[in-house]
Amino acid sequence: MVCGRDGGPRPDRRGCHARQSQALDAGQPRRQCVRGAIAGIGDLRRRKRPVVTSGEVDRADVVDGRLRVARCRGQESFGIPGDDQDPAEIEETTWVTAEDDDVLSASARGVVATLADKGTIRRNRPRPHAVLFDLDDTLVHTRVVKWKHHQEVARRFYGIDLTEAELAEAWGMPFDSMIARLYRNSAPIDTMRADNQSIASDFHKTEIHGAVRAVTGLLDRGYEVGVVTSTNTDFANADLERLGFPVSRFLGVQGADRSAFHKPDGRVFDEFLAQLASRGIGPAETVYVGDSLADRAAALAAGLDYIGIESDLPRDAAPEGHRPPVLGTVAEVPAALGEH
């Protein structure tokens, strides 16, 4: 798919979301390349399927039985990215099965039908069996109170007046990297971390209404549940336990200090995916719930489904027509998964 081929006029490249596309392309999923020319094109025509080329099938990226497709800004349908596709034109990517042909362009429907016939992709959407959550502003209110926290640490210990622009630029980085940047490397990292924690109790995170109930309900229904966050693991565990989340029932809590990879790199999920694989659960049966563009990019890069939560940061707004629709709060996740 070259943008404009199946969905109308080619959009002006300057109007595409370059920042979004860069994040969406960060991290590479483990993918199966489908090679070889298609046999039986005449038969496909007789069945009135869209005619596809061997090149389109050659470009197909498949992870755990689902096909990666992309949508350009201003288009309603998803297609197969072309070899000459400018990444800046891609607004959104997603993973589909043959059951999802209603969101695909004509040529992409042909590729999906062919791959389904070959047994390369699934005919039906798999039911999720695992839900991984982001922490900050997904399960707990974080940004507003922690921006005040960082401003106070910077002022009190280092004589720095942090602006909201500086905070926004560093927000979402791994915790140690973030405070090093915000506090301008004014002390060794252990000292900056200790200074931050010395007044942390004055700036507690709070539960997003309904989050504990939603997570507990998923566990009660047999879902595997875990947390992947950019804060440090001990801090995340302390907040979750203080707020009443059933952490002892979780598959695990992974902070930035427990992984060499960080969102938007899809490899941030490698450890959890290995644990889930040992339980017979693949990426296509795993959902990540988050509130940022980096969360979405990491999930899609790893071959996971993604449920977005509304963010009040403009940079993290999902593109119009995002699939599936973004939820207002994490409390709506069980219903979005079909659990009532």
Taking the alpha carbons at both ends of the chain, their separation in whole angstroms is: 38
* Residue 125 covered by a domain: no
Following CA atoms 86, 88, 94, 100 in sequence, which dihedral angle do they give, to the nearest 10 degrees?
Answer: -60
How far is 284 from 63, CA to CA, in rounded Å?
8
Q: Quick one: 134 and 271 in the same domain?
A: yes
What's residue 53's pLDDT? 62
Q: Name the residue range of residue 154's domain.
A: 144-202
Say yes or no: 135 and 266 in one domain. Answer: yes
In the chain (340 residues long), the average pLDDT of successive 10-residue segments reads: 50 36 42 36 42 67 94 88 82 93 91 93 96 98 98 98 97 98 98 98 98 98 98 98 98 98 98 98 98 94 95 80 81 90
The residue among 154, 181, 202 that closes a domain is 202
Give the span between the Cα atoms of 74 and 340, in whole angstroms: 34
Do 257 and 134 lie in a common domain? yes
Q: Which of 318, 311, 314 is closest to 291 using CA atoms?
A: 311
Instruction: Of 132, 131, 286, 143, give the one whose Cα is nearest residue 208.
Output: 143
In a domain, 124, yes or no: no
Domain-embedded: residue 7: no
The span from the CA of 13 to the CA of 6, in Å, is: 17
Same domain, 235 and 308: yes
pLDDT value for 55: 63
pLDDT of res. 209: 98
Domain boundary (164, 180, 202) is at: 202
pLDDT of residue 9: 40
For 134, 200, 248, the CA distances from 237, given in Å and listed in that order, are: 13, 14, 10
**What per-residue confidence (pLDDT) applies to 58?**
72
Do residues 326 and 292 make contact, with C-beta atoms less than 8 angstroms apart?
no
Query: Of the candidates 187, 202, 217, which is a domain's last residue?
Result: 202
Query: From CA 171, how far away is CA 23, in angstroms rounded?
Result: 15
Note whether 183 and 56 are same-domain residues.
no
Same-domain check for residues 281 and 135: yes
Q: From 330, 296, 314, 327, select the one nearest 207 (Cα to Cα).
A: 330
Question: How many CA atoms lie less than 13 Å away from 151 in the CB half-sphere?
Answer: 15
Domain count, the chain: 3
Same domain for 310 and 215, yes or no, is: yes
Residue 122 lies in a domain: no
DSSP 88-150: GGEEEEEEE-GGGGGGB-HHHHHHHHHHHHTTSS-SSPPPP-EEEE--BTTTEE-HHHHHHHH
Q: Is residue 123 part of a domain?
A: no
- Judged by phi (left if over 0) then psi (alpha if -120 to 50, else beta), residue 127 lies in beta
Q: What is the pLDDT of residues 192-202, one digit of tens each?
A: 999 999 999 99
Length of the chain: 340
81 and 135 part of one domain = no
Q: Are residues 229 and 328 in the same domain?
A: yes
Distance CA 298, CA 268 (A): 7
Q: What is the pLDDT of residue 52?
A: 60
Number of Cβ within a 10 Å radius of residue 142: 23
Question: What is the spatial order of strands in the sheet that 286-290 belongs to?
Answer: 252-254, 224-228, 130-133, 286-290, 305-308
Distance CA 283, CA 66 (A): 10
81 cis-preceded (ω within 30 degrees of 0): no
215 and 194 belong to one structural domain: no
Residue 299: which H helix or E strand, with range?
helix 293-301
Q: ∠ CA 82-86-90 to the nearest 5 degrees?
A: 85
d(CA 333, CA 340): 10
Q: Are residues 193 and 230 in the same domain?
A: no
Say if residue 215 is in the same domain as residue 328. yes
